[in-house]
Amino acid sequence: MSNKPIIWNYGGGKQTAAIAVLIRQGVLPRPERIVMADTGRECKTTFEYLENYMRPLLHEVGCEVEVIPHSFSKQDLYYINKNKEESQLPVIPTWTRQNGEVGKMRTFCSGFWKRDVVRDWLLLPEQGYGRKNPVIQWIGFSLDEISRCKDSDVQWREHHYPLIWGYNVRMTRQECVDLVLNYGLPEPPKSRCWMCGEQNNEEWRDVQSRPDEWQKAVELDYEIRSRDESNAVYLHFSGVPLIEADLSDKPKRELSLFQYDQMTCSEGCWT
């Protein structure tokens, strides 16, 4: 086993909770640092679970979760290029209508808000990581996401997938949930942003159950269309304004969050 320091990229979802339990049980080694890139738009449930269950559990083995604020990101909702020009379309998952068909727009938020943030944070002089102090980065993909595992694009950072290989652990997402429940913790929420266009109707209804998040999502849905020349970009997969979308289970096109190959976020959208 390598003696490089382990940096665990904390995603906040079901696999994350399983990794925490495995660390507490001594099945996985204790990482040197645990870092979470805050998108500034995470569902409240992610942080509630972190504060109520994950922090106390990890504290028992001397681990703390360090949250990198969204202000550390060089990009926000709209990409700004080197000429200080702002993009017309947002970097988040959205949908549009072309010739009557609904199609998904390209997504960049996970790279800007998570991957790049963690990389730049590790390279800060006060953190001390980089070419002279290379690291192992844990990414919490489970066996059912093995096709999304990728090697690192830089030599000083080595990707490890502790739920798949290298640590005598091989677990699916459901096995992660079962482990957490058997340990005595409640089922972790699905880590995601309240305005994520990858959400299915069940997840949108969950956001709707928190009026403040729902209102922000509705307002953002309106904003992204008002900034788009074609006025045809939507958060909901049906290609209609979010406030008008049928959130029942009737629509045939039920999209399961993070089932797209192009998604690259923590436990669903980060590599």
Which CATH number do you get for residue 37?
A: 3.40.50
Say what the pLDDT of residue 260 is: 38
CA dihedral 156→73→48→211, nearest 10 degrees, is -150
pLDDT band at 259 (very low <50, low <70, confident <90, very high): very low
Residue scoring higher pLDDT (196 or 2):
196
Would you mind telling me the total number of residues written for the chain in this entry? 271
Say what the pLDDT of residue 1 is: 59
Distance of alpha carbon 192 from alpha carbon 118, whole angstroms = 17
Say what the pLDDT of residue 25 is: 97
Mean pLDDT for all residues in the chain = 90
Helices 14-24 and 173-183 pack at an angle, to 10 degrees, of 50
Tell me: the pLDDT tens digits for 3-29? 899 999 999 999 999 999 999 999 999
Give the global pTM.
0.88
Q: Tokens representing 112? A: 């800007």
Residue 1 included in any domain: no
Q: Give the range of the structural domain holding residue 181, as residue numbers without chain letter.
A: 6-244
Residue 115 included in any domain: yes
> In this model, does residue 269 exceed pLDDT 70?
no
> In this model, does residue 2 exceed pLDDT 80?
no
Name the residue with tokens 């990414």.
139
Residue 180 included in any domain: yes
Residue 183 included in any domain: yes
Residue 256 included in any domain: no
Side-chain-facing half-sphere of 239: CA atoms under 13 Å: 13
Residue 271 included in any domain: no
CB 230 within 8 A of CB 223: no
Residue 259 included in any domain: no
> In this model, does residue 146 exceed pLDDT 50?
yes
Give the residue among 15, 22, 54, 11 at the shortest CA–CA distance from 172: 15
Contacts of 169 (CB under 8 A, 6+ apart): 22, 27, 28, 162, 163
Q: How many domains does the chain have?
A: 1
Distance of alpha carbon 20 from alpha carbon 147, whole angstroms = 23
Residue 39 included in any domain: yes
> In this model, does residue 200 exceed pLDDT 70?
yes
Tell me: the pLDDT tens digits for 92-145? 999 998 777 899 998 999 999 999 999 999 999 999 999 999 999 999 999 999
